[in-house]
C-alpha cells in the first residue's frame, strides 16, 4: 500500500503529464474543447472520453512544439 507521500507524487506526476511541455503548458480548457470537438467528429459516441482527452492533448502538444 502506498503512503500519502507516494500517492501525492503519483498525483503530481499525472497532473504535470497533462499540462503540456514545460515550455508550452496547455490549459485544461483548451484540451477539453478539442476533446469535445473530437467527440463530435466521431458521432458523439459515449465511453471514449479518456481516449478523446489524450488524443486532444497529443494534437495540441504536437501543434505547440511546431
9-24 pLDDT tens trace:
444 444 444 444 446 6
The H-or-E segment that residue 21 falls in is strand 20-21
Domain of residue 42 covers 21-66
Mean pLDDT of 4-13: 47
**Per-residue pLDDT reduced to its tens digit, 26-57:** 999 999 999 999 999 999 999 999 999 999 99
Inside any domain, residue 12: no
> How many angstroms separate the CA atoms of 8 and 5, rounded?
5
Inside any domain, residue 37: yes
Count of the separate structural domains present in the chain? 1
Would you tell me how many other CB atoms lie within 10 Å of the CB of residue 26? Answer: 18
Give the list of residues 6+ apart from residue 30 with CB closer than 8 angstroms, or none: 60
Q: What pLDDT, on the 0 to 100 scale, is given for residue 10?
A: 44
Q: What pLDDT, on the 0 to 100 scale, is given for residue 28?
A: 96
From the number of C-beta atoms within 10 Å of its C-beta (0-12, 13-18, 19+), residue 34 rates as buried
Q: Which residues does residue 20 pair with via DSSP β-bridges, in sequence order?
A: 25
Amino acid at each position: 500500500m502506498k503512503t500519502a507521500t507516494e500517492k501525492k507524487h503519483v498525483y503530481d506526476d499525472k497532473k504535470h503529464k497533462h499540462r503540456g511541455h514545460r515550455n508550452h503548458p496547455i490549459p485544461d480548457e483548451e484540451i477539453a474543447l478539442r476533446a469535445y470537438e473530437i467527440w463530435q467528429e466521431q458521432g458523439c459516441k459515449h465511453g471514449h472520453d479518456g481516449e478523446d482527452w489524450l488524443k486532444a492533448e497529443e494534437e495540441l502538444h504536437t501543434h505547440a512544439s511546431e
